[in-house]
Amino acid sequence: MPYIKTTTNVKIEPAQAESIKAQFGKAIESFPGKSEGWLMLAFEDECTMFFKGSAEACAIAEVSLYGAVNAAAAETMTALVTDILSKALGIAPARIYVKYTGIDTWGWNGNNF
């Protein structure tokens, strides 16, 4: 039950969203037992954002996972997410945050896991 929300101050064109979606679908497999089959994505573009006092292009990807966050997998995922967003949207890697949250209770289809 992974969920990735990407918020950025740059515009994401539909073709870019599709490309990022496909790449995030492969990247999520960095976490044991996670796959694109359960991955939900959200994109918020053209937001008013400042990082280090500047409105230059920046982004944050918030990765939520059912269960604990594996630190080694998160290291791999951070590198992948940073590379994907940098190449797709032209955002400098030093202006991309990746945040992880492990969730103990996750609901789906009217029930909890």
82 within some domain: yes
Domain that holds residue 89: 3-107
User: Residue type for 74, please?
Assistant: A
What percent of the chain is predicted at pLDDT more than 70? 100
pLDDT of residue 1: 86
Give domain status of residue 20, yes or no.
Answer: yes
pLDDT digits (tens, 9 = 90+) for 74-85: 999 999 999 999
The answer to whether residue 88 sits within a structural domain is: yes
pLDDT digits (tens, 9 = 90+) for 89-113: 999 999 999 999 999 999 999 999 8
User: In this structure, is residue 112 part of a structural domain?
Assistant: no
**What CATH number should be reported for the domain holding residue 39?**
3.30.429.10
For 77, residues 6+ apart whose C-beta sits below 8 A from its C-beta are 27, 28, 30, 31, 63, 98, 100
Number of structural domains found in the chain: 1
**Model pLDDT for residues 24-39, shown as the tens digit of each residue:** 999 999 999 999 999 9
**Is 113 part of any domain?**
no
Q: What is the pTM of this model?
A: 0.95
